[in-house]
Amino acid sequence: MRPFRYERARDAAAAVELVSREPGAAFLAGGTNLVDLMKLDVERPDLLVDVTQVTSDRIERLPDGGVRIGAAVRNGDLAADRTIRERYPALSQALLSGATYQLRNLATTGGNLMQRTRCVYFQDVAKPCNKRTPGAGCAARDGYHRGLAVLGHSPSCVATQPSDMAVALAAFDATVRVQGRGGAREIALTDLHRLPGDEPQRDTVLERGELIVAVDLPALPIAARSRYRKVRDRASYAFALVSVAAAIDVDGEGAVRDVRIALGGVAHKPWRATLAEQALRGGEATEESFARAADAELSRAQPLPDNAFKVTLARDVIVRTLLDLVEQP
């Protein structure tokens, strides 16, 4: 690891100022991803600005019925929060299925969203990677990509966003509150992470120095009956091959009033399944309709030679999760 300076900012504005004016500066929250990448010489900041004390570590109810999650709320606390468990159970499940208690006790809400995409070649400085060194080439496309993207990837990058939490937040129309040098702005969570395109080095739309200060969840009654299903190689402590956050509201006639579906482990960002949702809204809630909706979403998939199974898997998991939701008492 290269040497760096460490500063604890006095408030969010000061943190933003510090990182904005120094090109080699980075925010440090829980460190579970950043410190790891620094050990691998992938991240090489000159200055770490500790932001764990400058944003809120509380979960507040908003006047409109929504919930505001401070960026410094630890993943462990968020997963255990009574309000989240009752009103957004898929978010709690997503957090609980990610990493381990030890890591969730370090990781923060803001930091979790800012974790880099995963790919073994990104983590190995001896191998080419466009994300690490734009223009160097992508070793994964013709290499080890069993766990990588099937949707929205580009010739330059096929990495996946590994956050489980972000998948549930994407399904629930969360908004990310960001503070920058020029002031505050709000970004839909589904717009925070980018597809790689020809700029894979940029994981998110945030500008240099912009700091996530909170995540807002809308009231969203449908979320109270939601579910997160994560499929992975190990029973625990593993990244998703495919995951699904879903909620569905079916009327007395068996028609879909509303539905929310997001996928994890399949793209460079949490993948809101808008085509599947469109196909389902107003239609009937049957296994066949769920399968048609899943197929509609996955018709966009462009699997690589070794990850085509993810398309089958994603379809099966979407269908099963929706069925479980409509069948649960």
Partner 1 sequence: MALRVNGTEHVLTVDTRTTLLDALRERLGLTGTKKGCDRGQCGACTILVDGRRITGCLALAVAHQGASIVTIEGLADGDELHPLQAAFVEHDALQCGYCTPGQICSAVAMLDEARRGWPSAVTEDLAVTDIVLDDDEIRERMSGNLCRCAAYVNIVAAVREQAAA
Partner 2 sequence: MSVLGAPIDRLDGRSKVTGAARYAYEHPVEGVACAAVIQSTIARGRVVAVDASAALALDGVVTVLWHENAARLRTDDAELAVLQADVVRFCGEVVAVVVAATPEIARHAETLVDVRYEVEPHDVVLRFDRGDLVAPPGDDADSDDGDVEAGRAQASVVVDRTYTTPTQHNNPLEAHATIAIWEGDDRLTLYDANQGSHGIREDVADAFGLDREQVRVISPHVGGAFGSKLFTHAHVVVAALAAKAAGRPVKLELTRRQMFSLVGYRTPTIQRVRLAAGADARLTSIEHDVVLQVSSVKDVTEDHAAKPTRMMYAGPNRRTSHRMARLDLPPPTIMRAPGEAQGAYALECAIDELALACAIDPVLLRLRNEPPADPDSGLPFSSRGLVECLERGAERFGWQPRAGAPRGRRDGRWLVGTGVAASAYPAGRAQATATIRALGDGRYRVQIDAADIGTGAWTVLTQIAADALSVGVDDVILEIGDTALPRARPAGGSQGTTSWGTAIVHAARKLRADDASSATADAGDDPYASRYAMYAHGAQFVEVCVDADTCEVRVPRMVGVFAVGRVLNAKAARSQLLGGMTWGLSMALLEESVLDARYGDYANADLAEYHVAVNADVGEIDVSWIEEHDPYVSPMGAKGVGEIGIVGTAAAIANAVHDATGVRVRDLPIRLDKLLLGPSGRPRRPIGR
What is the Cα–Cα distance from 207 to 186, expressed in whole angstroms? 13
Helix ranges (DSSP H) in the chain: 12-21, 34-39, 75-80, 82-87, 89-97, 101-106, 109-114, 165-171, 189-192, 274-280, 287-298, 309-327
User: Any contact of residue 121 with partner 2 (CB under 8 A)?
Assistant: yes
d(CA 81, CA 99): 18
Residue 82 within binding range of partner 2, rule CB under 8 A: no
If the CB atoms of residues 70 and 98 are measured against partner 1, the closer one turns out to be: 98
Give the other-Cβ count within 10 Å of 93's Cβ: 21
**CA–CA gap between residue 85 and residue 80 (Å, rounded):** 7
Q: Residue 126 or residue 235: which is nearer to partner 1 going by CB?
A: 235
Q: Which of 211, 196, 274, 184 is nearest to 49 (CA)?
A: 211
Q: Which of 73, 113, 178, 317 binds partner 2 (CB under 8 A)?
A: 317
Q: Considering the complex, what minimum distance in angstroms separates the CB of residue 106 from partner 1?
A: 5
Q: Which does 89 bind (CB under 5 to 8 A by kind): partner 1, partner 2, none?
A: partner 1
Which letter does DSSP use for residue 272 in this model?
Answer: E
Q: What tokens were used for 213?
A: 């200060």
Give the one entry of partner 2, partner 1, none that residue 50 binds, where binding means its C-beta sits below a cut-off of 5 to 8 angstroms depending on kind.
partner 1
Sequence-distant (6+) residues with CB within 8 A of 265 are 147, 160, 162, 239, 240, 241, 242, 243, 310
How many residues sit in the footprint of partner 1 (CB under 8 A)?
Answer: 37
Report the interhelical angle of 309-327 vs 287-298 (nearest 10°).
Answer: 140
Q: Select from partner 1, partner 2, none the partner in contact with residue 322, using the beta carbon and a kind-dependent cut-off of 5 to 8 Å.
A: none
State yes or no: residue 106 binds partner 1 (CB under 8 A).
yes
Segment near partner 2 (CB under 8 A), from 205-213, 258-266, 294-302, 306-314? 306-314
267 binds partner 2 (CB under 8 A): no
Nearest Cα to 14, choosing from 49, 47, 57? 49
35 in contact with partner 1 (CB under 8 A):
yes
Q: Which of 106, 238, 275, 326 binds partner 2 (CB under 8 A)?
A: 238
Q: Which does 35 bind (CB under 5 to 8 A by kind): partner 2, partner 1, none?
A: partner 1
Asked whether position 72 contacts partner 1 by CB under 8 A, the answer is no
Amino acid identity, residue 323?
Answer: L
Q: Which of 60, 100, 146, 155 binds partner 1 (CB under 8 A)?
A: 100
Please give the residues from 212 up to 271 whose contact with partner 1 meets the rule CB under 8 A.
Answer: 235-237
Q: Is 48 in the site for partner 1 (CB under 8 A)?
A: yes
Q: Which residues in this chain contact partner 2 in the complex, by CB under 8 A? A: 1-3, 39, 41, 120-121, 126-127, 139, 142-144, 146, 231, 233-239, 241, 305-306, 309, 312-313, 316-317, 319-320
